[in-house]
Amino acid sequence: MENPPLPDHREFLQLARQRMPFGKYEGRLLIDLPEPYVVWFARQGFPEGKLGDMLRTVYEIKVNGLEYLFEPLRHLL
């Protein structure tokens, strides 16, 4: 049985640095978006492409209470 591939830490760092490019929270780090806003995206549909993938990941992190994963990265931002 093969082990699943490990997540690419560079993508995680990119996610931690990415800012919302539009809307009410334009300019805010994706990881700092309010949970209700991210949940709204989950219900309405995430944007296409890389931004949608990142917002989907932020959604999973927030609804599962894993925001602490970003704390060690805040000094790098």
Q: In 3-state terms, what secondary structure has residue 29?
A: strand
Question: Residue 44: what are its φ and ψ, rounded to 5°?
Answer: -85, -25
Q: Is residue 61 part of a domain?
A: yes
State the average pLDDT over residues 45-72: 93
1 occurs within a structural domain: no
Structure tokens that stand for 11 in this block: 């993508």
Domain assignment present for residue 68? The answer is yes
Query: Which pTM does this prediction carry?
Result: 0.84
DSSP-based three-state secondary structure for 19: strand
Query: What are the tokens at 12?
Result: 């995680």
| Tens of pLDDT, residues 9-52 | 788 889 889 999 999 999 999 999 999 999 999 999 999 999 99
pLDDT of residue 5: 64
Residue 12 located in a structural domain: no
Q: What is the dihedral of CA 50, 52, 58, 18, to 10 degrees?
A: 50
Number of independent structural domains in the chain: 1
Range of the domain at 67: 29-77
